[in-house]
Chains A and B, each alone.
Chain A
């Protein structure tokens, strides 16, 4: 075993990363209204209360609509961008891609406030879940592109050339050869975008108007100590859902890499 002390450090680091997440189910199933130790006893009341809550159900519906629509939009746009940036050479490619990838480093609040200004002052439209969808596409797009770029970059171009030589058009080559090979990457990009949108708070906070989404609902409830146990239960469900979505995304990402016969260099981004 190489670097034994580094390995211990790495394990300690993983514990630090996961510590807060491990606390979540402890309090979600804890039979007490105060979030503190010692734990009182086991209960599933908070999950039952969560299921009865109408505002929460409304927020969940909104969040699911937003996440489905915006991740579909982001994934479609990302297919264009990833294909263009990995397969073609053209002027100003760096600048154009830089602009599209900018939200990865830009603080979310800038996106939130600038879109708010445009919607209210320039376009004069009412805030709704539609405006949140427009914002979430911009936020998720860079991550979807990052996932898809690996998928497109590992494609063997000679496969396409062979198809063209055998009389297929560019379009049919894309549909018959490229698309099936990058499909796992597309699914992975969609799931990543979905997870991002489901968890996104700032842009939804600025752009949702009076419509609740799950994160803005959670944020509004964190001020009330009596609401916290239900939020812990909700958090447990959300984390479980995120882990599930990401595991499926990772499965497809790996399958995509295996399909194109490339070496796995690891990870999203």
Chain B
């Protein structure tokens, strides 16, 4: 018995558990436990300056019966959906070019170039879009410079582009671009090139080979890219605040208002949990549809 225990301690599994435990415990304490706390708080009552630890569904009732919440949730989902569509759509050709159009020694350099903007100050990048799209911004002053905008131009007044869903979507699409490119690139890299040659040898055109071989095999990357862009964009705080000018709040702005200035943390928690559940449900439906679609495709 002792010998068995000792051999288990020397086994791969025991070594693995010993190694994984520091990061795992850290993630349990500072990620899982806090998320569980949100869940618990969403069922607590809000007192004045305190939280009363009694079970109630009041926060969820208040959340879902509030038309403002529904408008904001629908807007967040719409913006995130639009951003995902644009980002993944624009990213696919880039990923394809990186994987099929470049010599192997050039790939790392291109990926580095694409990821750099992603790692540089998010706040400042978002603010620069405000500068580009603003009333006196880069686009308007350029159009004025070439005479399209002005008393004698095609358009009398500078374009009003900020404070719109489109401007928010453009800014977010720019911010999340590399997130969409990398997963697609990885799945394209995994494709066995001889499959493509086989397709063409058997008389398929290049385009048909792409549709019937490359695209289905790249789908896992597209799915990953979709989720990795959609989920964080639903919860984006900075862009609606800066580009939407506070007039186009999304879910994160609503949550922030409840958590900090309004100090109704149970309600803020209920809003967060509700939004997260909706997003999770959408993600599961998307994954299910995709699996079904791909199976039928075979």
Whether B255 lies near A113 (C-beta < 8 A) is yes
Known: A109-B256, A222-B127, A242-B119. A20 touches B174 (CB 8 A): yes
Within 8 A of B (CB), among A1-52: 2-3, 6-7, 9-10, 13-14, 16-21, 23-24, 27, 34-38
Whether B27 lies near A113 (C-beta < 8 A) is no
Whether B119 lies near A265 (C-beta < 8 A) is no
User: Which of B94, B96, B128, B235 neighbours the largest number of chain A CB atoms within 10 Å of its CB?
Assistant: B128
The digit string for B88-127, where 1 denotes a CB below 8 A from any CB of A, is 0010011011101100100110111111110111111101
> Which of B20, B51, B93, B121 contacts A215 (CB under 8 A)?
B121
How many angstroms from the CA of A77 to the CA of B227 in the assembled complex? 26
Known: A6-B93, A23-B132. A80 touches B113 (CB 8 A): no
How many angstroms from the CA of A263 to the CA of B151 in the assembled complex? 60
How many angstroms from the CA of A5 to the CA of B259 in the assembled complex? 50
Whether B228 lies near A2 (C-beta < 8 A) is no
Q: Is B268 an interface residue (CB 8 A)?
A: yes
Q: How far is the CB of B263 from chain A (nearest CB, A)?
A: 10
Whether A14 lies near B114 (C-beta < 8 A) is yes
Q: How far is the CB of A251 from chain B (nearest CB, A)?
A: 10
Interface size range of chain B in the complex: 35 or more
Known: A88-B12, A206-B259, A239-B121. A138 touches B93 (CB 8 A): no
Q: Is A167 an interface residue (CB 8 A)?
A: no
Q: How far is the CB of A165 from chain B (nearest CB, A)?
A: 16
Whether A84 lies near B34 (C-beta < 8 A) is no
Within 8 A of B (CB), among A67-117: 77-78, 80-81, 83-85, 87-91, 93, 96-97, 99-100, 102-111, 113-117
How many angstroms from the CA of A53 to the CA of B32 in the assembled complex? 40
The B contact surface, by secondary structure, is helix
Whether A138 lies near B27 (C-beta < 8 A) is yes
Q: Is B131 an interface residue (CB 8 A)?
A: yes
Interface size range of chain A in the complex: 35 or more
How many angstroms from the CA of A96 to the CA of B19 in the assembled complex? 12
> Which of B26, B124, B141 contacts A38 (CB under 8 A)?
B141
Q: Which residue of B lies closest to A13 (CB)?
A: B94
Q: Is B45 an interface residue (CB 8 A)?
A: no
Whether A17 lies near B174 (C-beta < 8 A) is yes
Known: A77-B23, A110-B276, A117-B34. A35 touches B256 (CB 8 A): no
Q: Is A160 an interface residue (CB 8 A)?
A: no
The digit string for B260-281, where 1 denotes a CB below 8 A from any CB of A, is 1000010011001000100000
Known: A96-B20, A137-B26, A266-B108. A199 touches B117 (CB 8 A): no
> Which of B15, B104, B141, B238 contacts A37 (CB under 8 A)?
B141
Whether B97 lies near A235 (C-beta < 8 A) is no
Residues of A within 8 A of B20 (CB): 80-81, 84-85, 90, 93, 96-97
Q: Which residue of A lies closest to B101 (CB)?
A: A3
How many angstroms from the CA of A116 to the CA of B255 in the assembled complex? 12
Residues of B within 8 A of A192 (CB): 119
Q: Is B282 an interface residue (CB 8 A)?
A: no
The digit string for B154-181, where 1 denotes a CB below 8 A from any CB of A, is 0000000000000000000010010000
Q: Is B2 an interface residue (CB 8 A)?
A: no
> Which of A10, A84, A113, A118 contacts B272 (CB under 8 A)?
A113
Q: Which residue of B lies closest to A202 (CB)?
A: B237
Q: How far is the CB of A51 from chain B (nearest CB, A)?
A: 18
Residues of B within 8 A of A103 (CB): 31
Whether B132 lies near A20 (C-beta < 8 A) is yes
Closest 5 interchain pairs by CB? A107-B235, A88-B16, A114-B34, A267-B111, A20-B128
Give residues in B with beta carbon < 8 Å to A.
12-17, 19-24, 26-28, 30-35, 37-38, 41, 51, 90, 93-94, 96-98, 100-101, 104, 107-108, 110-117, 119-125, 127-129, 131-132, 134, 136-138, 141-142, 145, 174, 177, 182, 185, 189, 227-228, 231-232, 234-238, 242, 252, 255-256, 259-260, 265, 268-269, 272, 276
Can you list 18 pairs linking A and B with CB atoms under 8 Å apart? A6-B93, A9-B93, A10-B97, A14-B114, A19-B132, A23-B131, A87-B16, A89-B12, A100-B23, A100-B24, A106-B231, A121-B265, A201-B123, A215-B122, A218-B121, A267-B108, A267-B111, A269-B182
Known: A16-B174, A117-B41, A117-B259. 7 other contacts (CB 8 A): A13-B177, A17-B177, A105-B232, A110-B38, A196-B119, A199-B121, A267-B115
